[in-house]
Amino acid sequence: MKGIVAYDSVHGNTKQVAEAIAEQIRSEGHEVELISIRDGMVGSIAGDFLFVGSPTRIGRMTPSAKDFVEKLDAEYWRNRPSVFFDTVGPLPKDEEKRKKWLSRITTSAASKMRDLAKEQGLGARPDVLNVPVTGFLGPLAPGALDSARDFTWKFLASLK
């Protein structure tokens, strides 16, 4: 199978998460294409599944990420799973406080992208991946990349 991992990144944190997701897809024996949304869409994007990521900026996705999701070929992606992820923060450095805060997230870039994709008829999965950063510019919280890899592993296992 071939996975597409498309991301927008402002300070490099979402890019790190996208790279970890792509790495996990490869380690499971699948082909993967990593796309920086800021570089613009080149032609049609084709694969068996799709991950799209954006930093959360004031509770929303970036304009580039929104444009990317809106321009996806709904007919093509209707019956192919799409998964959405984001980086969100700054969150507390204390792991227990961070987990509690993450459990209360009701709106984020990932959930907004998922909802937009559903409105367009894409095969958006209900669960999203929220990856915490501990400062406004980062860094990612300890264990964040491991969580992204684990989320990806579970997603791939669900396709079997």
Report helix, strand or coil for 19: helix
pTM of the model: 0.92
Q: How many whole angstroms separate alpha carbon 90 and alpha carbon 112?
A: 19
Res. 146: pLDDT tops 90 = yes
Q: How many whole angstroms separate alpha carbon 143 and alpha carbon 147?
A: 6
- Burial profile 69-93: b = 16 or more Cβ within 10 angstroms, e = fewer: beebeeeebeeebbbbbbbbbebee
Q: According to the per-residue pLDDT averaged within each range, which of 24-33, 85-94, 107-116, 129-138 is highest?
A: 24-33
Report helix, strand or coil for 20: helix
Res. 90: pLDDT tops 60 = yes
Q: How many whole angstroms separate alpha carbon 92 and alpha carbon 113?
A: 25
Segments in the chain forming alpha helices (H): 13-27, 63-71, 74-77, 95-103, 109-119, 144-159
For the chain, domains (ranges, CATH) are 2-159 (3.40.50.360)
The tens digit of pLDDT for each residue in 25-70 reads: 999 999 999 999 998 765 679 999 999 999 998 889 999 999 999 9
Res. 107: pLDDT tops 80 = no
Residue-wise DSSP of 88-127: E----SSHHHHHHHHHT----HHHHHHHHHHHTT-EE-S-
Res. 95: pLDDT tops 90 = no
Do 154 and 125 touch, CB atoms closer than 8 A? no
Give the model's pLDDT for residue 84: 98
Greater pLDDT, 92 or 52: 52
What is the percent of the chain with per-residue pLDDT over 90, rounded to a whole number? 74
Res. 154: pLDDT tops 90 = yes
